[in-house]
Chain A
């Protein structure tokens, strides 16, 4: 077992908001963040992720529960005595100090001599590639540069855990992408634990070793990006991370690993996972659009250069495969997106799914039109039953 850097034990945070409705900003969250890990707290705004981060930093006090950093409870320890540092959302650089003074500030608070502080601050600025801006004031810098200064200011203290509160939120898309890779590289190089708050699922997926998804103060799922994406345990997680089709039906039978769901007369087999549902319950089957294959119900299906089958032959082949779902439908709408084509396909009266088909090249691709009869198929292990 890896050593644990930060541990939350049944942490609850209630804000007494004058009125009687005591909203729980953080509701009984327990989690462990390992040493040297890039950990992302992901969720929509107001889900409690920032409050969680602020409790680790010490700006908020938990209503109940315990927070441990490096094994020690920090319950009564003010932020200025915790071995963590924060990169703030809008950077919170001191406007009256130069960049260098900003970076030196934390060292001077540790009573490091001025000469040493200056030396270490310059090193930190070099790490973020900004030594040339040392004598400028924060407001003279661009957003991206301010972000780097904020990073240097926190890293210079050599914290055992670095907390980042949506640090890239104020940057434009291109810069954000570049910074994502840079941050990840920096984290791997320094080996510091990063706790990273974001509402951007793509950002979390790109950088994090593990992701904790939160909603309405509750911790829904913790896992690696792959686990979160491929094996979501709740409808919220499946919906929040990436795009998903949800098909509702009633649970017909339970099995391992597949359960069977009745949808408008048809049966769908999907992975049951850890869902606790009884036969007859309404459940949701989730399937990612890119996991769905399509081919025209009439005409030929081209499988590779110079090799094609008729649609009926292909269907028959697919039916022979175990654990494969094959359904007929009609194209409702088509969106050409460039990298792929998006089809909205009606499978029944009230059932519509989205399939994303990658575009390889004009010579190979068949683009179907609205109204075309179409067949869809997927492997059952890619469909998951989620509690309703």
Chain B
């Protein structure tokens, strides 16, 4: 049993005065994250100019409009996101359970890797793969027609169902990973204890396993729900008119002859939904289960916030518990009235056990097929010697050749030079954003772990914000922000600035700082402060202690953070889409343009190249991480 005493011992006796390290990152987040959000709020109360843009006339009309006109789509977004979350949970929980109960470490790693790998393939490509599969003449319909299961093609593509399938596919790992983490921490001897006290598998699961893995479940639901409700790419590529979601409405209001204030108001509505989701998360999940150290510290300080928080939590949970209690009471009275003899109870419980076992074996098969089939088929069809998306015509590599000869599709708007150029743009953006965010993120992590100053909890919260806000909101907030700033600069100083690399990088850094800081913070928290004390004891000053001892020890964490930042930056579409200007088309924006056009074999080939590239990148990062943890 660990108590709070180790926490006391881990506190460094000498506290480096490093609070200033938080300043650059804080300023960056204030300017490029908080200020844009404030502007979104402000713009949502303004009027639209005659030729687009905004006029500083205050009004609440935008909200009335959103309420009147967009309500059905808001509701649809909510239930599509709800379905997506529910299906992800139903598929993901057993899968996470399967992974974390593998006996050998290697099997566990492999089965987890099999979930993560598809996830590291570019989101656009993964979504596109479903377009190939679900189309009216797509593979699924063709196969089903051929074997005679259906008489006419199923209309899946460009419906809500297609959007849901695409999003479940896209977000399933978000559900699996946190549940995996909490099931892995779960002490399975508690199941034995429950069995010993007379609980069959069903009761043991619902009364012991599930409540104790609930934090992972709720975290997973939130991680799926937030991007799902604010999704823009999936409904855009798979949804058509019937699958329109809030994200599409927001985007439409910001492109072409859009209505920015309405878009801003819609965005605020979206944020409201997300905030409600986060509130549920905070209320349901005990803080102690996530960060026992911090809670111990909070208790020591007799933090009245913790007390208030737990009171609110109790008031929310009590009615829920009352309902679940009465349900289980009801079930037990039914069971009592049935009065099964012991032999029948044993048979029933054995049946439950077998059903559970079969389910636990079927689920991973279904899940892995679901995760891998689209990618496998996409890669296979990139070698298909036929323009058809559903018939196999032999093997060819001509589509790969076409990419480099400016021939893609019938539209012929493709240019190899443009593709190479976009790749260069991507590299410029990702490398710069990674460098800046790694430095700033490491600095703020150091100051947050190693020093104590006023407003530290607020800063911690600020760090988690970019992670928990829909990408599209961040995208349009930056768009509005730069427009307002550029307008102002032009009017006051006559400076003419435009969207370009700088705006994209600013956006990327503001979401990457958080990821780097979180990764480095974790590494720092695990580090024994005695090393630093030893260095100080041996006469090293603060500066030399940092470079000779601290930095080499946290370097693996910094590298992991940098790699994560680079991957996220390279993979980002939404923020880039709203902050890029003429001539700064990145690879993802370029690919999006292609995917919007049509389904052609050449796009399959480009996708395959991108899948290969990201697989290599992930492989490299795992190799690095493996080496750093083995040390």
Q: Which residues of A contact B (CB under 8 A)?
A: 57-59, 76-81, 84-86, 88, 90, 92-96, 105-106, 108-111, 114, 139, 143, 146, 153-154, 157
CB of B533 within 8 A of chain A? no
CB of B5 within 8 A of chain A? no
Set B195, B207, B335: member contacting A80, Cβ < 8 A: B195
Residue of B nearest to A95 (CB): B212
Chain B, range 1-20, C-beta contacts under 8 Å to A: 1
Q: Is the CB of B192 within 8 A of A78?
A: no
* Closest beta carbon of chain B to A139's beta carbon, Å: 7
Q: Is the CB of B193 within 8 A of A59?
A: no
Q: How far is the CA of A59 from the CA of B342 in the complex (A)?
A: 19
Q: Is the CB of B190 within 8 A of A79?
A: no
Q: Is the CB of B195 within 8 A of A94?
A: no
Given known A-B contacts A88-B192, A92-B187, A111-B336, A81 and B346 have beta carbons under 8 A apart: yes
Given known A-B contacts A79-B195, A157-B198, A109 and B335 have beta carbons under 8 A apart: no
Q: Is the CB of B203 within 8 A of A109?
A: yes
Q: Is the CB of A106 within 8 A of B197?
A: yes
CB of B559 within 8 A of chain A? no
Q: Is the CB of B187 within 8 A of A108?
A: no
Please name 5 pairs of A and B residues whose Cβ atoms are closer than 8 Å in the assembled complex, sorted by A. A81-B346, A92-B190, A105-B197, A106-B197, A157-B198
Q: Is the CB of A153 within 8 A of B197?
A: yes
Q: Is the CB of B192 within 8 A of A59?
A: yes
Chain B, range 162-205, C-beta contacts under 8 Å to A: 187, 189-190, 192-200, 203
User: What A residues does B197 contact at CB under 8 A?
Assistant: 80, 85, 105-106, 109, 153-154, 157
* Closest beta carbon of chain A to B360's beta carbon, Å: 17
Q: Is the CB of B346 within 8 A of A111?
A: no
* Closest beta carbon of chain B to A83's beta carbon, Å: 10
User: What A residues does B452 contact at CB under 8 A?
Assistant: none
User: What A residues does B342 contact at CB under 8 A?
Assistant: 81
User: What A residues does B350 contact at CB under 8 A?
Assistant: 78
Q: Is the CB of A85 within 8 A of B196?
A: yes
Q: How far is the CA of A153 from the CA of B190 in the complex (A)?
A: 13
B contact face: mostly helix, strand, loop, or mixed: helix
Residue of B nearest to A106 (CB): B197
User: What B residues does A79 contact at CB under 8 A?
Assistant: 192, 195-196
CB of B64 within 8 A of chain A? no
Set B198, B212, B346: member contacting A110, Cβ < 8 A: B198
Complex A-B, nearest 9 residue pairs according to Cβ-Cβ distance, in ascending order: A106-B197, A109-B198, A92-B193, A79-B195, A111-B332, A86-B196, A92-B189, A80-B195, A109-B199
Q: How far is the CA of A90 from the CA of B350 in the complex (A)?
A: 28
CB of B242 within 8 A of chain A? no
Given known A-B contacts A80-B198, A111-B335, A88 and B193 have beta carbons under 8 A apart: yes
User: What B residues does A146 contact at CB under 8 A?
Assistant: 1
* Closest beta carbon of chain B to A96's beta carbon, Å: 5
Extra pairs beyond A80-B195, A80-B349 (20, CB < 8 Å): A58-B195, A59-B196, A79-B192, A79-B196, A80-B196, A80-B197, A85-B197, A86-B192, A88-B192, A88-B193, A88-B196, A92-B189, A92-B192, A94-B190, A95-B212, A105-B197, A105-B199, A105-B207, A146-B1, A153-B197
* Closest beta carbon of chain B to A180's beta carbon, Å: 21
Tell me which of A57, A92, A95, A96 has the highest count of chain B C-beta atoms within 10 A of its own C-beta.
A92
Q: How far is the CA of A85 from the CA of B192 in the complex (A)?
A: 11
Q: How far is the CA of A84 from the CA of B197 in the complex (A)?
A: 9
User: What B residues does A88 contact at CB under 8 A?
Assistant: 189, 192-193, 196
Q: Which residues of B contact A (CB under 8 A)?
A: 1, 187, 189-190, 192-200, 203, 207-208, 211-212, 329, 332, 335-336, 342, 345-346, 349-350, 353
Q: How far is the CA of A197 from the CA of B195 in the complex (A)?
A: 20
User: What B residues does A111 contact at CB under 8 A?
Assistant: 332, 335-336
Q: How far is the CA of A86 from the CA of B198 in the complex (A)?
A: 11
User: What A residues does B332 contact at CB under 8 A?
Assistant: 108, 111
User: What A residues does B336 contact at CB under 8 A?
Assistant: 111
Residue of A nearest to B292 (CB): A139
Given known A-B contacts A88-B193, A157-B198, A77 and B346 have beta carbons under 8 A apart: yes
Residue of A nearest to B329 (CB): A114
Q: How far is the CA of A228 from the CA of B392 in the complex (A)?
A: 79
User: What B residues does A93 contact at CB under 8 A?
Assistant: 193
User: What A residues does B349 contact at CB under 8 A?
Assistant: 78, 80-81
* Closest beta carbon of chain B to A17's beta carbon, Å: 11
User: What B residues does A77 contact at CB under 8 A?
Assistant: 346
Q: Is the CB of A90 within 8 A of B189?
A: yes
Tell me which of A81, A84, A153 has the highest count of chain B C-beta atoms within 10 A of its own C-beta.
A81
Residue of A nearest to B208 (CB): A94
Q: How far is the CA of A255 from the CA of B198 in the complex (A)?
A: 56
User: What B residues does A78 contact at CB under 8 A?
Assistant: 195, 200, 346, 349-350, 353
Q: How far is the CA of A58 from the CA of B353 in the complex (A)?
A: 15
Q: How far is the CA of A315 from the CA of B189 in the complex (A)?
A: 62
Tell me which of B197, B203, B332, B353 has the highest count of chain A C-beta atoms within 10 A of its own C-beta.
B197
Given known A-B contacts A80-B200, A109-B199, A86 and B346 have beta carbons under 8 A apart: no
Residue of A nearest to B204 (CB): A80
Q: How far is the CA of A325 from the CA of B119 in the complex (A)?
A: 82
User: What A residues does B329 contact at CB under 8 A?
Assistant: 114
User: What A residues does B346 contact at CB under 8 A?
Assistant: 76-78, 81
Q: Is the CB of A59 within 8 A of B212?
A: no
Q: How far is the CA of A57 from the CA of B187 in the complex (A)?
A: 18
Q: How far is the CA of A146 from the CA of B1 in the complex (A)?
A: 11
Residue of A nearest to B333 (CB): A111
* Closest beta carbon of chain A to B320's beta carbon, Å: 14
Q: How far is the CA of A94 from the CA of B346 in the complex (A)?
A: 24
User: What B residues does A114 contact at CB under 8 A?
Assistant: 329
Tell me which of B1, B211, B353 has the highest count of chain A C-beta atoms within 10 A of its own C-beta.
B1
Tell me which of B189, B198, B346 has the highest count of chain A C-beta atoms within 10 A of its own C-beta.
B198
Tell me which of B194, B203, B336, B349 has the highest count of chain A C-beta atoms within 10 A of its own C-beta.
B194
User: What B residues does A92 contact at CB under 8 A?
Assistant: 187, 189-190, 192-193
Q: How far is the CA of A318 from the CA of B345 in the complex (A)?
A: 72
Residue of B nearest to A156 (CB): B197
User: What B residues does A105 contact at CB under 8 A?
Assistant: 194, 197, 199, 207
Q: How far is the CA of A306 from the CA of B11 in the complex (A)?
A: 68
